[in-house]
Amino acid sequence: MADGNGSQVILALSPHPDDAEIGCGGALAVHVQRGDAVHLFVATGGGVGGDAGLRHREQEASAAIIGLKGLHWGGFDDTRLPEHTLPLMERLEEVLGAVRPDTVYVNFERDTHQDHRALAEVTRSVTRWIPNVLAYETPSSIDFNPALYMDIGAVMETKFAALSAHASQADKTRVSLDILEIARANAHFRGVQGKLACAEAFVPIRMRL
């Protein structure tokens, strides 16, 4: 929760290492610049998409680049989150109780990846008392129609550096663009929508004005 200086506590939830950086890495960097305390929860080690130990180290490097205050792990198996709904809920409640965030970022619930859907669904329940909950997009999001935009022009290089830390995943996009090229293109596309040069976009699940 907010401290006496007016800074906020932010918690981003990521199904796998690198998902949060793709969808809201710029926003997290903006929050750090503002003096907010930013935490990241990563539900799985990403072992199906690569070596779990390497991906753990890449995530730690990325967190340091952004300037996160805390990095929290779920410890669940990659691709199998739907099988662990109750333990995931319990783990998230532990993290929420420890961090006490004012704002939570989570991946958008409509998605082709089962881990993404499972995390988003559980988040709906465990964040029911959190005043601000925003959904970010990933390359596997479906029917993502944002209503909120954050200007990330001043932190684009931080976002790209954080993404670059996930070097083992850079070319695993199954298209002819690497993840940095996709992120840059999307930042400009969402920026045009939000009347900005570069932006990240969000679907509000709940917002307190």
Tens-binned pLDDT, residue by residue, of the chain (209 aa): 555 466 999 999 999 999 999 999 999 999 999 999 999 999 999 888 788 899 999 999 999 999 999 999 999 999 999 999 999 999 999 999 999 999 999 999 999 999 999 999 999 999 999 999 999 999 999 999 999 999 999 999 999 999 999 988 767 656 667 888 889 999 999 999 999 999 999 999 999 98
Q: Does CATH place domain 9-204 in 3.40.50.2000?
A: no
**Residue 46, beta-bridge partner list:** none
SS3 21: helix
User: How far is the C-alpha of 6 from the C-alpha of 85, rounded, in Å?
Assistant: 35
Tell if the pTM clears 0.85, that is, is over it. Answer: yes
How far, CA to CA in Å, does 64 sit from each of 23, 60, 94? 18, 6, 23
Beta strands in 77-160 (DSSP E): 103-107, 132-136, 148-151
Indicate the domain borders of the chain.
Answer: 9-204
